[in-house]
Amino acid sequence: MVLLGNLSMIGIIVTDPRLNTPMYFFLGNLSIIDLSYSTVIVPKAMVNILSQKKTISFAGCVAQLFLYALFMVTEAFVLAAMAYDLFIAICNPLLYTVCMSRSLCIQLVAGFYLCGWVSSILQISVTFLMSFCASRVIDHFYCDSNSIEKISCSNVFMNKMVSLSLAILIILPTIVVTVVSYMYIVSTVLKIRSSEGRKKAFSTRSSHLGVALYEK
């Protein structure tokens, strides 16, 4: 269902010229990220469920952790960008074409992936510099830093500090941008005197709010 839903969304956005807007550009990238999440975790998890030999190579574990962290950080930035896009569209519509040009949106998404790549490198660097005990059985269906820390014989303080720092520097600001943007959006919509206008504004933007709340 996830695969079909995201592929359908990407196909519709790419083929319909009417959806050539910043909001759908970001939504298309969000679908790609969601699809990538599934590709990173689900295939190997299904193999482990159906197979008697439930193992993953060291390189495979590194790749899985790297890609998961990459897409998680990138997704947070894309959701914040979508909230800001809606903020500009509703609160400053006259500046919309200037603030949310196609080239700027492409540069933003490229920057989001770069930030995700850098944060992933930092995360896996501190994670796999740890030494591990005799038992290397991960009590989880995919490799993540918390599961790997449980089988480590090293002090995990540095790993915890890096994870906390990344959360403070990356995840927290994106949540703040999203929440503040929606506060301004709701405030602006409530100031619309026409009930029909308020209803239209909420109905056209409620889908993104649902996506943002679900992903967060």
CATH value at residue 174 = 1.20.1070.10
Q: Which two structure tokens, joined as six digits, stand for 115?
A: 């930030």
In this predicted structure, what is the pLDDT of residue 148? 77
How does the average pLDDT of the chain come out, rounded? 81
CA distance 40 to 78: 19
- Strand partners of residue 132: 152
Percent of the chain at pLDDT above 70? Answer: 85
So what's the pLDDT on residue 74?
94
Range of the domain at 133: 2-215
pLDDT at 92 over 70: yes
pLDDT digits (tens, 9 = 90+) for 196-214: 666 666 665 555 555 555 5
Phi, psi (deg, nearest 5) at residue 132: -120, 150
Which pair of structure tokens corresponds to residue 207? 């889908």
Q: What is the pLDDT of residue 111?
A: 95
- Predicted pLDDT at 210: 59
Chain-centroid distance, C-alpha 27: 11
Number of domains in the chain: 1
Q: Higher-confidence residue: 198 or 78?
A: 78
pLDDT above 70 for 57:
yes
pLDDT of residue 139: 65
Any idea what the Cα angle at residue 130 is, between residues 124 and 136, rounded to 5°? 95
Residue 118 has pLDDT above 60, yes or no: yes
Q: Name the pTM for this structure.
A: 0.84
For residue 98, pLDDT beyond 80: yes
What is residue 125's predicted lDDT score, i.e. its pLDDT?
85
Please spell the DSSP secondary structure of the chain, one letter per residue. -HHHHHHHHHHHHHH-GGG-SHHHHHHHHHHHHHHHHHHHHHHHHHHHHH-S-----HHHHHHHHHHHHHHHHHHHHHHHHHHHHHHHHHH-GGGHHHHT-HHHHHHHHHHHHHHHHHHHHHHHHHHTTS-B-S----SSSS--HHHHHHTB-S--HHHHHHHHHHIIIIIHHHHHHHHHHHHHHHHHHHT-S-HHHHHHHHHHHHHHHHHHHHH-
Query: What are the contacts of 52-58 at 24+ separation with CB within 8 A?
Result: 56/138, 56/143
